[in-house]
Structure formats: structure tokens, C-alpha cells
Amino acid sequence: MGKIKFFSGEDIPLEMHKVRIVQKLELAPIEQRVKYMQEAGNNTFLLNNRDVFMDMLTDSGVNAMSDNQLSAMMIADDSYAGSETFTRLEKTLQELFGTKYFLPAHQGRACENIISQVFVKEGSVVPMNYHFTTTKAHIVINGGSIEEIVIDEGIEVTSSHPFKGNMDIDKLKEVIARNGKEKIAYVRMEAGTNLIGGQPFSLENLQDVRKVCDENGLMLVFDASLLSDNLYFMKEREEQCKSMSIEEITKKIMALCDITYFSARKLGFARGGGICTNSKDLYMKMREYITLYEGFLTYGGMSVREMEALRVGLNESMDEHIINQGPLFIEYMVNELDKKGIPVITPAGGLGCHLDAMRFVDHIPQAEYPAGALASALYIVSGVRGMERGTMSEQREDDGTEVFSNMELLRLAMPRRVFTLSQVKYAIDRIEWLYKNRKLIGGLKFVEEPKTLRFFFGRLDPTSNWQDELVKAFRKDFPDSL
């Protein structure tokens, strides 16, 4: 069914919910915003949320809950062991995913910790469509390495390929042949491939990956954190899925995978995470790690209230008119920016709108973090907080050499059911202004640089006084606007 059409022909997304609780936002004047950005070391992770107008850093743990989720939280059964809430959540997962066993964990990376500790050994290789930051860090810390084998179109910024998150099957066969199958810990597929712009894979591709795994006796691990968007795109874009319900597609996906894990901060409009499998053997191998790192088996570090919210949220994720809200708002933003000639990742994916900093600020070398500089500049001119997804999010080699990212992106995530269309229009307007004034944006350099996941805490300085020039130009065009 997809999008609701307007008689006027206007192509805009329509919210299929009404707002019943609101949170007041503040928009500080630009002179203050530039100070906040400097105090935060030009790292959007270090801004205080009260100083942010539109928080588009992430869709993790910040999606709006429904009335049904909030009311379910009131019936949570608070007990250390044997909680009724756990039983209800486990049953929902059995019904929706068709998987028998469920191990709760406090968030997605906690699942990655457990899966990597159990299955990754010194010298192991994990082929995957594309890495996620925490996924790679957990595999590497356990002595393994990753091989990214997304199709070539996946890392082309502008493309019309409907499934840019697909794994290249020939490359998968080559990785297995080159390393030997005994070295492959497992093959990993990520739904809504995060770091290349929330791009989906097709059901057909997953079926092909499964075939190769079967031929080589390999395990297939599925990161379902961004499953909702991927499901929507499969239903919209893939012939074999058009006649299936979202629930049917979900079951088909799960039946192809040995282990499915997810961040419930993304999937199910809640917070938490979990690992699902149909194999008792795999379940037993992972089980003791839950009690060691997360909590007892029936809560795994999650609050029971969140578990109830997740149960209801997972059911809501099977409703096409609920899961289409993210992709439709993102599509609107991407298409509007694209029409204005502003470089964005196309086609629109899930998760958020991704500005292509490599072209937006093509005068900034990768060694001066173009996507990080763009994130800083956008906050200064708009109060919109995005997230750098480029070289800053990579890690240096042991000898200090920079690893330049394939893409330099500024991700503007679209938390689900949170923003209205006029707020999205405001973001588009300020991005357009910034694009017209892009030559004023300069680079950044680290002044404090942690070795691991440096993008979280690293602090940077501008390479010149470009931020003052940006403020002056803004004030010329907007003498009395916030």
C-alpha cells in the first residue's frame, strides 16, 4: 500500500499517528551555538541535548513510544528470575520470528560481545555485507578480522540500485576459498546496512548467501537492528515480497539465519537487545555469557518495563503503516535535497538522510575529516545535530596511519514518530543555506584522540577561524532569526 496520495499531487509523507505527549525544544542563537560546539570539541556526541534543536544524531533509543507500549510497561512483572514479562516477550519472538530460544541482553553491542566471544577465535575471519563500528570492534578484540563484501553499488554514493546492502556472492565464495572455510567464524548479514546509508538487502540475496553457507557448512548470523526499514523496502521493492505480509517476510528471513541478534534501541521502539536462535546447541553455547555479562536469563540487563514495551513494539513493527514512517520521511528529505542539487546518498534508505561530505565540502581533505567538519557546521547554523560517519569513525592502524573511510557521510537520523514535516523542512532549509555557503567550512584536527571508538570522546579544533566566518555570513542573511 505504501504512501497515501494527495489530490493536489503534492508528494509529502503523512503521519499515521497523532501526538499526545510533547517535549519543549530550545533553539539557542547562533552566537551561543558556536560556543556550545567549541565546548564540545567539535564532536556532536559531546553536545548537551538541551542545546540541540533537532536531535538527528541517531534513531537509537529515541524513537517515540505508542500509547500501547506505555500502558504495557505498567503490567511488567518485576522479578529477578522467572518473570512473566520475559515469558511474554519470548512468546512474541517465537510467534513473530519463528525462533525457539531467546537470550535477552542490555543492547545490541552486548549481543555482539557474546557472539564474538563464543565464535571468534584468534585468526578468525568474518565476512559481512558491511561492518558496524561496535561489531567490528568486538570481532577485532577477540582476535578476528572482518571482510566487507557488499556489492560494488553499495559504496557508490548515487545509485538507483534498490538493494545496495546486498552481499556480493562471488566475493563471498572468493573469501571462503582464500581463507579456507575452517577460518570463517560465521558469515554476517546486516539489515538496513547502517554505515553505507541505511541500505537494505533483498530476500533473494539472503537466500543466495544461505546457499553458500550451506555448501560450506558455515553459520549465518543476522544483525536485525534495522530490520523494520529492510522489511519495508523488501515489501516495496522486491517482486517475491509484494504479495507477502510483513510477518511472512520476517519469518522467511529468520528461517534462513542460524542466529539473529538485534538492538532493541532501534528495533521495536524500545531499549535493550537480544539473541534468537532455533538451535539448542548454539543457545547453550551462549547462555552462560548472558548471566556473566548481562544479568539473569529472564531479564539480561533490561528493565522489565522496557521488555514489555519491546513486546508491543515488535508487534507494531509488523504493521506496514507504522514501519513506513521512517523511510517515507527520509525519502522526502533526500528527494528535496537532491532536487536542490545537494549531494545526498541515493536512493533514500532507512535510518536517516545521509549528506555526502566528500562532495558537499570537496575542498576539505579526508585527513581533516570533511564529514566531522560538516557536522560541526550544520549544528552551528541550525541547531540540528547529526553524526559523522566517515574517517573519524574509523580507527588508525597500529603504526598511527589514518584509515580513510570509503565514504564521508553526515548522517541525519530520523527517529521514528518524533519529528513533524515542518521540522524536517527547517532542516532542509538550513542545509540549503549551508550548501550555498559551503566554501566557508574548513577542516578539523584532533586535539584529544582515544585509540578505540575515537568518534565517541575525541575532541577536535578547527584548522582555521572558519567558524567565526560562518557565523558572520549567517547573521548577514538572518539578522534577527535564531
Residues 6+ apart with CB under 8 A from 433: 381, 474, 477
How far apart, in whole angstroms, are the C-alpha atoms of residue 374 and residue 467? 11
How far apart, in whole angstroms, are the C-alpha atoms of residue 169 and residue 174? 9
DSSP-assigned letter for residue 309: H
How far apart, in whole angstroms, are the C-alpha atoms of residue 338 and residue 331? 10
Give the nearest distance from C-beta 108 to ligand F0G in angstroms.
2
Give the nearest distance from C-beta 223 to ligand F0G in angstroms.
5
Give the nearest distance from C-beta 105 to ligand F0G in angstroms.
9
The Cβ of residue 82 has, within 10 Å, a number of other Cβ atoms equal to: 11
Give the nearest distance from C-beta 138 to ligand F0G in angstroms.
10
**Does residue 233 contact residue 162 with C-beta atoms inside 8 Å?**
yes
Q: Which phi and psi angles does 120 have, rounded to 5°? A: -95, 130
Q: Helix (H, G, I), strand (E, B), or coil: what is residue 480?
A: coil
Give the nearest distance from C-beta 376 to ligand F0G in angstroms.
18
Nearer to ligand F0G, 115 or 212 (CB): 115
Residue type, 162: P
Give the nearest distance from C-beta 197 to ligand F0G in angstroms.
12
Pairing state of beta strands 125-128 and 409-413? Answer: unpaired
Nearer to ligand F0G, 109 or 459 (CB): 109
Nearer to ligand F0G, 109 or 164 (CB): 109
Residues that bind ligand F0G (CB under 6 A): 58, 60, 107-109, 132, 134-135, 190, 194, 223, 225-226, 263, 265-266, 273
Q: Which phi and psi angles does 466 have, rounded to 5°? A: -60, -25
**Does residue 53 contact residue 27 with C-beta atoms inside 8 Å?**
yes
Nearer to ligand F0G, 210 or 265 (CB): 265
Give the nearest distance from C-beta 309 to ligand F0G in angstroms.
15
Catalytic residue numbers? Answer: 80, 132-133, 223, 266, 389, 455
**Residue 235: C-alpha distances to residues 47, 80, 101, 285 (Å):** 38, 40, 27, 35
Can the peptide bond before residue 462 be classed as cis, meaning omega within 30 degrees of 0? no
What is the Cα gyration radius of the chain? 22
Residue 324's nearest CA partner among 228, 240, 249, 224 is: 228
How far apart, in whole angstroms, are the C-alpha atoms of residue 132 and residue 181? 23
Bridge partners of 167?
A: 150
How far apart, in whole angstroms, are the C-alpha atoms of residue 81 and residue 83? 6
Residue 166's nearest CA partner among 179, 181, 155, 182 is: 155
Give the nearest distance from C-beta 374 to ligand F0G in angstroms.
17
How far apart, in whole angstroms, are the C-alpha atoms of residue 30 and residue 110? 39
Nearer to ligand F0G, 263 or 325 (CB): 263
**Does residue 391 contact residue 404 with C-beta atoms inside 8 Å?**
yes
| Side-chain-facing half-sphere of 264: CA atoms under 13 Å | 33
Find the residue with minimal CB distance to ligand F0G: 108
How far apart, in whole angstroms, are the C-alpha atoms of residue 373 and residue 362? 12
Give the nearest distance from C-beta 203 to ligand F0G in angstroms.
18
How far apart, in whole angstroms, are the C-alpha atoms of residue 315 and residue 317? 5
